[in-house]
Structure 1
């Protein structure tokens, strides 16, 4: 049997499959070559147009905008994680009085752009100033930063709720049945057995969601929040130099790469027992 398997493995691929593989390699190499050419052209353009005076003038603004972007992202993701817990449990509830509103919330915020949600919070709620002042919340909604934070939190909470719900439901039911057979209570079963396994499943989707929030946070610049993109727009309005956007792209690229490698290392660390 092993001899037959070796003969089948050593058999050359049919001509049409070989042609497809060759064509795929050629296309792949062409795409890589194109990206290399574009990267070299971009690097040469930035080196040729390097202006130290602009960097000294607008560099601190970029760093301030970068700090604003990171604070907004970290805060919204953290608050969204807390909000996603009850939403995920409501989504899994068999009571329609809980599951229906949770489903509507998740559906609306996952089906509409975050830019639209920011507009609705900042401009939409701003049109009800008298009513908001009556309940003493105008101090919050008059600040664009607070409105952006609220919209981003509601947006990411909807996505995180679905990630958490899917991860919890992916844990085999036998885990719960085994815990019941050992006499473990429901909370102990959930927090000690179900949730740790669910978080491992949800680890990669959570990382993707954080990266998407970092990139999506650029839309807060349209409501006058001076994040990284907002400071970039300011620098461009003073210099009309397209390289201001290239520097912003490099900042975003650096953030994403740092997050990607950090999350990959964390995933390898937490799942090391699965590779043994």
Structure 2
């Protein structure tokens, strides 16, 4: 317990940075994933190959390699980035990690959303068209809500995977939870700090899973069978 009191402040600061990177990257990825999924779903002739290439690249290469490519590769184009006003953004390791996590997660979220879009029943779409829904109404009221309901559990899994995979951010000098753990171990050689870090990841992951399940139950509450009336429950108990 003495060691936990000694390391607690640094580990909590690292956990805060880990959450900031994970949630920020996930939300930015969600903004990019939707148009990507719609491109893959609608299959326009010119843009579909680019969308497929993007998804294939970020799903087919390791997150660590993508982070190195952006963090160290950006320096090779410093004059061009300065001319565009982007060098101040990309020279910061936090911004590079956040951008890498966003681009990576967007590819996975787009693939998940594509499965949700393809899982919407054709009869629901036909019924909406029969009622005279316009294309925008069809997407906003029928297709997208149902696609997100179908994809919601898998999107939660992607959040957890991003949280755990995001430990690679410590490689580019960021003092997230794993970065703080590595720094403390290098100073003290106390192996218990890794145990506390593992416990910290477990607490964060469990909390996110609990919250996601709560959101899922709320989102799917209309699909749950209604409880029988009291008289019927009494009869069933006999």
Q: TM-score, normalised by structure 2?
A: 0.91
Q: Say yes or no: does 1:120 pair with 2:69.
A: yes
Distance across 2 between alignment mates of 1:272 and 1:111: 36
Distance across 2 between alignment mates of 1:161 and 1:67: 27
Given the alignment, which residue of 214, 219, 222 partners 2:171?
A: 222
Listed as ranges, the matches of 1:53-68 within 5 Å are 54-68=3-17
Give the greater-gyration-radius structure (CA).
Answer: 1
RMSD: 1.1
Partner of 1:187: 136
Partner of 2:193: 244
Listed as ranges, the matches of 1:16-35 within 5 Å are none
1:221-268 residue CA offsets vs partner (Å, 9 max, x unmatched): 000011000000011011101111110000000111111122122222
Aligned residues: 225
Distance across 1 between alignment mates of 2:24 and 2:213: 22
Partner of 1:72: 21
Contact 2:41–2:117 under 8 Å retained in 1 = no
Distance across 2 between alignment mates of 1:169 and 1:100: 19
**Structure 1: 4+ residue segments shifted above 6 A:** none
1:96-125 residue CA offsets vs partner (Å, 9 max, x unmatched): 211000000000000111111000000012
Q: TM-score, normalised by structure 1?
A: 0.79
Structure 1 alignment gaps of length 5 or more: 1-49
Query: Greater RCO between the two (CA within 8 Å, min separation 6)?
Result: 2
1:202-223 residue CA offsets vs partner (Å, 9 max, x unmatched): 1100110011111111000000
Q: Say yes or no: does 1:202 pair with 2:151.
A: yes
Give 1:127 deviation, angstroms: 1.9
